[in-house]
Amino acid sequence: MYYQKAFAPIFIIIAVATVVASISGIYVYKRNATDTDISPQPKTQQEKIKNDEVPPSLRPTTKPFTQTTKPISSPPPQKTSPSANAFDLTKISGEISILAQTGKPIGPEHYARLKNSLETALAQGASPTETQLLQSLLEPLNPEKISTLTSASQGFRKDPEIPSAEELKQVPSCAGQTFSTPPVDTGKLYSVSPLGNLGPPGHTFPTEHMFFHITAGGVTTDTIQLSAPADIYVTLISFSHGLTQDPVDYTVWFALCKDVVGYYNHVKALSPQLEEIVAKNNCQFSGETKTTRCNIETLTKVNNATSMGRVGRLQGNFDFGLLDLRKKHVFANPSRYGTRSLYIQCALEYFEPMTQSRLFSFIKRTDEKKCGFTAQDIPGTLKGNWFFGNSRADSGSDWDKYLAFVQDSGDPELFVISVGGTFTGAGKWEFKPTSSGTTNRAFQEVTADNKIYCYESNGKTGRIAVQMTSATELKIEQQSKSCDNMLNFSSPTIYTR
């Protein structure tokens, strides 16, 4: 896990984020610093429809960033010089603002690239004020200033969220247990986003939890009660201050039974019972403090329907994730993933039938996979997740090294090349697949057959050329030509599994 100092006072962060959003021309959605995802927001509360989530440049970050949602309220963008526009400061601001909102550290190469881009923009005439604002967002992500938390308290679990073997003696075996209480009053819920949401760079790989939307985000500081979905055992409380648009974000992990563990993320306040746990226990890792960032291990029973805290505020949504240790996903190389990714399941499927039906009604998908899906690897084919270098799916600093060839979570007929960065800018290349030829071919039909395949997307310039050189390696390059021209490589990037 990682330690990061909080930003200056929260009101400064809000101001900075607002200006950054105006610079980029998109509304930036926030996420918890203790998790790895960025939360999608439906376009408006009235529409109550699925959000394409992240923009293209931030449909690198939350739909990040290619979002079509307009800012709810933001000041008019500041004027910039022609040279600043020529440098495309908008794209840089989108990527930095998204990363800053997550609160997760980035790798040294990623940090250096963004820092150099800001210095170049300033030298080419970008607004000093805008550049300084972006530098203030980037600097807390400097890996040289972030302590790696390797010294855990004695006896801390191998997987902090999952009870130890000794603790499991106090947790019931899984024998038909279900959730029965909705996390929040469904009368105050207006949409649920399924598993697998894409929003590079924060969600280059399909998102491993569902989003429960209360408001469109950024419109109110009101909160509503968050309830225990059954008799559960809280296992971990993680939180950080000053890293999102709200003063503090909590993630609460809990066990339903020995093999089923869930979590709520983007909790804005804890119940008195959970506050007492935080007050009486120390942070688990060296370098953590309760005023900055902290993880607290516990095993505390919370009764069904009991308040666990409050959700909402400017966030407007919260995450609900679940893993079932009895059900393991197939990945081409499972050693690149942490425990959570290997066992993620749909939380709604663990509710009793009536409540489950009610919650499913908030998801707009109409196919049989209403919950969406995360793991899409088909070994030996192009489909699924790929990595640059030695990056890992559970690393907090490797986002820009991810690449995924997957189906869209809201529309499975739509195929997406989800790019975290490295060989080209972060974003999503979307298209309807073909079943023959080498242009926009369905990913599961592409193998190491010595052919170069070509992909084009509406709204994107040029093409992406891909060739699998083996079952676990590919070459890829973005090129300025269309797929009608001859396919070849000039300087491809290598990804592996």
Each residue of 233-277: pLDDT tens digit?
999 999 999 877 899 999 999 999 999 999 999 999 999 999 999
What is the model's pLDDT at position 49?
29
In this structure, which amino acid lies at residue 201? P
pLDDT, tens digit, 9 for 90 and up, residues 122-161: 888 888 887 877 877 777 677 665 443 333 344 557 788 8
Structure tokens at 390: 């030695």
CA distance 287 to 295: 11
> Is a pLDDT exceeding 60 seen at residue 64?
no
Kindly state whether residue 473 falls inside one of the protein's structural domains.
Answer: yes
- Do residues 199 and 259 make contact, with C-beta atoms less than 8 angstroms apart? no
pTM of the entire predicted model: 0.72
Alpha helices in 402-474 (DSSP H): none
Domain boundary among 316, 344, 360: 360
Domain check: are 430 and 310 in the same one?
Answer: no
Res 65: pLDDT: 30
pLDDT at 86: 44
Alpha-carbon distance 345 to 351, whole Å? Answer: 13
Assess whether 306 and 398 both reside in one domain.
Answer: no
- Spatial distance between the Cα atoms of 143 and 398, rounded to a whole number of angstroms: 12
Cis amide linkage into residue 201, ω under 30° from 0: yes
The reply to whether 377 falls in a domain is no
The answer on pLDDT for 74 being more than 70 is no
The residue type found at 442 is: A
Give the three-state DSSP class for 18.
Answer: helix
**Lowest-confidence segment of 102-106, 166-170, 175-179, 447-451 by average pLDDT:** 102-106
Average pLDDT across the chain, whole number: 81
What domain count does the chain have?
A: 3
Residues 115 and 200 in one domain: no
CA atoms 433, 435, 437, 442: torsion sign: positive
**Vertex 415: Cα angle to 409 and 417 (nearest 5):** 100
Per-residue pLDDT, 249: 94
Average pLDDT over residues 65-90: 41
Angstrom distance (rounded) from CA 220 to CA 226: 17
Q: Which among 360, 395, 424 is the end of a domain?
A: 360
464 and 339 belong to one structural domain: no
Of the residues 360, 392, 420, which one is the last residue of a structural domain? 360
Confidence tier at 58 by pLDDT (50, 70, 90): very low
Please state the rounded mean pLDDT for residues 190-201.
92
Using DSSP, state whether 393 is helix, strand or coil: coil
The pLDDT of 360-388, averaged and rounded, is 91
More confident residue, 405 or 60: 405
Tell me what pLDDT residue 104 has. 57
Residue 494, pLDDT above cutoff 60: yes
Contact between 347 and 210 under an 8 Å Cβ cutoff? The reply is yes
Residues 464-489: what's their mean pLDDT? Answer: 97
Give the range with max mean pLDDT: 19-28, 214-223, 390-399: 214-223
The Cα-based distances of 404 to 59, 326, 335, 401, 458 in angstroms read 14, 26, 17, 10, 18
Inside any domain, residue 22? yes
Say whether both 195 and 269 belong to one domain. yes
Q: How far is CA 232 from the centre of its chain?
A: 26
d(CA 301, CA 47): 39
**pLDDT at 388 exceeding the cut of 80:** yes
Q: For residue 3, tell me if it sits in a domain.
A: no
**Two tokens, residue 158:** 């191998």
322 strand-pairing partners: 262, 345
pLDDT digits (tens, 9 = 90+) for 83-104: 334 455 776 776 776 666 555 5
Same domain, 122 and 28: yes
pLDDT tens for residues 358-373? Answer: 999 999 876 777 899 8
The H or E element containing residue 210 is strand 210-213
Same domain, 71 and 172: no
Give CA–CA dist 60/426, Å, rounded.
Answer: 5
* Alpha-carbon gap, residue 136 to 131, rounded angstroms: 9
Q: Of the segments 17-31, 61-75, 300-314, 396-410, which one has the largest average pLDDT value? A: 300-314
Do 260 and 220 fall into the same domain? yes
The CATH number covering residue 221 comes to 2.70.70.10
125 and 231 inside one domain: no
Which 8-state DSSP code applies to residue 72?
S
Residue 44 lies in a domain: yes
* pLDDT reported for residue 150: 34
Same domain assignment for residues 183 and 118: no
Assess contact for 229 and 181: CB atoms under 8 A. Answer: yes
Residue 210 has pLDDT above 80, yes or no: yes
Task: Determine the pLDDT at residue 135.
Answer: 79
**Gap between the Cα atoms of 375 and 362, Å rounded:** 23
pLDDT attached to residue 55: 28
- Which residues, in sequence order, are CB contacts of 459 under 8 Å at separation 6+? 56, 66
pLDDT over 60 at 308, yes or no: yes
The pair of structure tokens assigned to 488 is 């070849």
Tell whether 195 and 110 lie within a shared domain.
no
384 CB neighbour count, 10 Å cutoff: 23
- Identify the pLDDT of residue 101: 53
Residue 417's pLDDT band, with cuts at 50, 70 and 90, is very high
Instruction: Note whether 14 and 47 are same-domain residues.
Output: yes
Instruction: With respect to residue 251, please indicate whether it lies within any of the assigned structural domains.
Output: yes
Cα 399 to Cα 387: distance, rounded to the nearest angstrom = 10
pLDDT score of 298: 95
pLDDT (0 to 100) of residue 459: 87
Which residue, 67, 89, 92, 69, is CA-closest to 78? 89
Of 285, 207, 297, which is closest to residue 253 (Cα–Cα)?
A: 297
From the CB of residue 415, how many other CB atoms can be counted at a distance below 10 Å?
24
Instruction: Please give the DSSP secondary-structure letter assigned to residue 143.
Output: G
Which pLDDT score is estimated for 410? 86
For 49, the domain range is 10-145
CA dihedral 409, 415, 416, 417 (to 10 degrees): 140
Output the pLDDT for position 222. Answer: 96
Whether 61 maps to a domain, the answer reads yes
Answer whether residue 376 is part of any domain.
no
